[in-house]
């Protein structure tokens, strides 16, 4: 499939935005400027970008505890995101969601989630609503390989298949469920094998190749949008940092050599080299993109640091629904 220059640049720009946001968040966490846990998406940028470029603004996604990258890829603003991570009132969720529960309904990101596997049934609910309304929208569930061992995933996949809902399941298989290797928790090598149990198509893609992910997503999204039902995409990818934070907490579950081998396949630099080699984009153009978004990150940090914390009297606001008849 031949992708236009604009689409290729869009894939690259979204990956760069994710990388810069995550690197900045990691540095802030190391400086004790972010409360709570931080799960970084560095290394996996091709998956969120490849999928979200295939979506419309009205399509929805659900995320995981590693959710910043998905929100950035769906169109999230740096300033509101950084403010949320710093627990400031100007954040997307008024400082109450933080890293693991950040969301933005305005861009169709239905939420990061601290519960493993919990995003899939939410995406299925969105898909059910989309089909009921007949609005043509598609819901995408992002999840890790470990979450496919959770009952909620299987219930969601079964319901989506039985009702032919417009849902795309995207498994980000980074070979580890937190600190445990995949082969210690499941008897199969490929998560996509589970698609057959629900009678839905499944495909494996190189999750370090944004173009490959995007092409698979285009097909799955088009199928869902025309009423063909759900699909499963398994993206073989890798996170460059540890399960949470930047440091490894002294847990040696991966070798340095393994991490370095995967870093040689950095999805951003791989796409840059590919497009420069064929003359589609110049190195100077890529440098301008990096510089532009570095400036955006600096402005977002300044905005977040100068923003106020939530007022204590707002503690229960947006927690309970008011005015609903019993």
Mean per-residue pLDDT for 177-181? Answer: 70
Higher pLDDT, 247 or 304: 304
Predicted model pTM: 0.93
Strand 180-181 versus strand 176-177 pairing type? antiparallel
With H, G, I as helix, E, B as strand and everything else as coil, classify residue 212: helix
Mean per-residue pLDDT for 172-186? Answer: 78
What are the C-alpha distances in Å from 33 to residues 24, 79, 301?
Answer: 11, 15, 11
Per-residue confidence (pLDDT) for residue 177, from 0 to 100: 67
Residue 326 predicted with pLDDT over 60: no
* Inter-helix orientation angle 5-30/210-225, to 10°: 110
Angle at 118 (CA atoms; ends 41, 12), nearest 5 degrees: 25
Residue 319: pLDDT band with limits 50, 70, 90: confident
Per-residue confidence (pLDDT) for residue 315, from 0 to 100: 85
Average pLDDT, the chain: 92
Residue 94 predicted with pLDDT over 80: yes
Mean per-residue pLDDT for 293-300? Answer: 97
Distance CA 81, CA 93 (A): 9
- Which of 83-87, 176-180, 260-264, 313-317 tops mean pLDDT? 83-87
Count of C-beta atoms within a 10 Å radius of residue 283 = 11
Per-residue confidence (pLDDT) for residue 318, from 0 to 100: 84
The answer to whether the beta carbons of residues 72 and 17 sit under 8 Å apart is yes
Residues 33-52: pLDDT tens digits?
998 888 899 999 999 999 99
Per-residue confidence (pLDDT) for residue 256, from 0 to 100: 83
Mean per-residue pLDDT for 281-308? Answer: 97
> Secondary structure of the chain: what % helix, strand, coil (to 5)?
50, 10, 40
Domains and their CATH numbers in the chain: 5-314 (3.40.50.970)
Residues 163-177: pLDDT tens digits?
999 999 999 998 876
Per-residue confidence (pLDDT) for residue 295, from 0 to 100: 97
Residues 129-164: pLDDT tens digits?
999 999 999 999 999 988 888 999 999 999 999 999
């Amino acid at each position: 499939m031949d992708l236009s220059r604009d689409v290729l640049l869009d894939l690259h720009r979204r990956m760069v935005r994710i990388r810069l946001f995550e690197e900045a968040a990691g540095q802030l966490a190391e400086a004790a400027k972010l409360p709570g846990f931080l799960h970084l998406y560095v290394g996996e940028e091709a998956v969120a970008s490849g999928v979200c470029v295939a979506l419309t603004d009205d399509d929805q996604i659900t995320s995981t505890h590693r959710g910043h990258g998905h929100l950035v890829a769906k169109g999230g603003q740096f300033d509101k995101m950084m403010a949320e991570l710093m627990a400031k009132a100007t954040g997307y969720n008024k400082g109450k969601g933080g890293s693991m529960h950040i969301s933005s309904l305005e861009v169709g990101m239905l939420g990061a989630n601290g519960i493993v596997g919990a995003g899939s049934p939410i995406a299925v609910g969105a898909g059910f609503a989309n089909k009921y309304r007949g609005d043509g929208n598609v819901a995408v569930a992002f999840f890790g390989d470990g979450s496919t061992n959770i009952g909620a995933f299987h219930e969601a996949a079964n319901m989506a298949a039985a009702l032919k809902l417009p849902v795309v399941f995207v498994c980000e298989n980074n070979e580890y469920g937190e600190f445990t290797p995949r082969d210690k928790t499941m008897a199969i090598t490929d998560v996509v094998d589970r698609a057959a149990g629900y009678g839905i198509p499944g495909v494996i893609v190189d999750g370090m190749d944004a173009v490959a992910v995007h092409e698979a997503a285009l097909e799955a999204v088009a199928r869902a949008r025309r009423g063909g039902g759900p699909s499963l995409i398994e993206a073989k990818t890798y996170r460059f940092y540890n399960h949470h934070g930047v440091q490894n907490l002294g847990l040696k579950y991966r070798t340095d050599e393994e991490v370095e081998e995967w870093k040689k396949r950095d999805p951003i630099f791989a796409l840059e080299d590919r497009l420069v080699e064929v003359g589609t984009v110049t190195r100077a153009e890529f440098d301008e993109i990096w510089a532009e978004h570095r400036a955006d990150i600096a402005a977002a940090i300044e905005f977040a640091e100068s923003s106020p914390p939530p007022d204590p009297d707002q503690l229960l606001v947006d927690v309970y629904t008011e005015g609903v008849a019993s």
